[in-house]
Amino acid sequence: MEIRTTRTTTPKKRPEGELGFGKHFTDHMFRADYTAEQGWHDARVMPYGSLGLDPAAGVFHYGQAMFEGLKAFTGVDGKVRLFRAEANAHRMASGAPRLCMEAPSEADMVKSFHALIRTDIDWVPKASGTALYLRPTLVATEPFLGVRPATRFCYFVIASPVGAYFAGGLKAVKIWIEPTEVRAPRGGLGAVKAGANYAASLHAANEAKKQGFDQVLWLDGKDHEFIEEVGTMNFFVVLGQTLVTPPLSDSILPGVTRDSLITLGRELGYKVEERPVSVKELRAAHKAGSFTEAFGVGTAAVVSPVGELALQGERMVLGGGKPGPIAQNLYAELTAIQRGEKPDKHGWLSVVE
């Protein structure tokens, strides 16, 4: 993929103060287009702006849309590094066929990440806890009405400087165990980072927030018995001395952070299991005092500790409602690697040059 670059003539003012998450966007974006005749072509870094899609574009009517999320960090040595870019490119390339979409090659996606960051290198924040978040996105652009796969696509990448997800350190959240609605059923799109999964999650999450909770814990779509994800994150619990997370399936996203923390957890000496966990098991373990921690994991927050789980009037408080030691240890270990404070033994980081 040959990439041309057109720089903006009207650069934006850099944000000041707290960055938040997804509130600010850099001066440039990456874009490439696909047709059946030409394949992927016209790869370019260009000034950030609108896509100019036809109102009949397939993305609007038939939901052919998926995205990724990854971060670049300024290390303690001043170099900018991407974290596990190849894993995110692989997940998009692997998931696109499920939506009958064409994705660029994994190598070309990684090239697009580096090209955009090089152009907007001054946007990568330097303070501890900050990063440049990248959002690679794939959408159907062919204008037509009629239920069939599109034959034209647009791949683009935008970037946003982001602050620490929890200002002032990790904070425990309150979670509602959702008894009826489902994020993604078996046989559906749950293992693909499709926009439809996030649309499906909005209603229950909004209702939970009205009741004073921060997010929902999703259960399986068949029996509403086994835990799957929390909000838009993979989920871990600590039972006794064991760190447990649900096994991957076609209703659970194969999270890059999830995979990273399973590896680090074992290296830190924790016993880690990937197996089904039911609400019944959590209730019994909580009553016995062996259910001590729970936390969500994902690119945005890295680790989001859970201080309370609630279902139909029953509340399970964990660790006095505060972040637990295992969650804190895993967060500290992974973020130290991302910022170059500890060795990258697994080759997860790639320098942007």
Mean pLDDT of 275-282: 98
Task: Give the integer Cα–Cα distance in Å for 68 and 90.
Answer: 10
pLDDT of 169 above 80: no
CB 239 within 8 A of CB 291: yes
Other CB atoms within 10 Å distance of the CB of residue 133: 20
pLDDT of 212 above 90: yes
pLDDT confidence band for 12 (50 / 70 / 90): very high
pTM: 0.96
In order of their start, the domains of the chain are 4-164 (3.30.470.10), 173-338 (3.20.10.10)
Cα–Cα distance list, 97 to 39, 94, 129, 150 (Å): 15, 7, 35, 12
List, for residues 191-208, the tens digit of each pLDDT value.
999 999 999 999 999 999
CA dihedral 323, 326, 332, 334 (to 10 degrees): -120
Other CB atoms within 10 Å distance of the CB of residue 275: 10
- The mean predicted confidence, pLDDT, of the chain is 97
List, for residues 148-165, the tens digit of each pLDDT value.
999 999 999 999 999 988
Of 104, 134, 129, nearest to 117 (Cα)?
Answer: 134
pLDDT confidence band for 186 (50 / 70 / 90): very high
User: Could you tell me which residue, 241 or 66, shows the higher pLDDT?
Assistant: 66
Q: What is the 3-state secondary structure (H, E, C) of 162-186?
A: ECCCCCCCCCCEEEEECCCCCCCCC
pLDDT of 167 above 90: no
Extract the tokens encoding 31. 């874009």
User: Biggest alpha carbon distance in the chain?
Assistant: 64
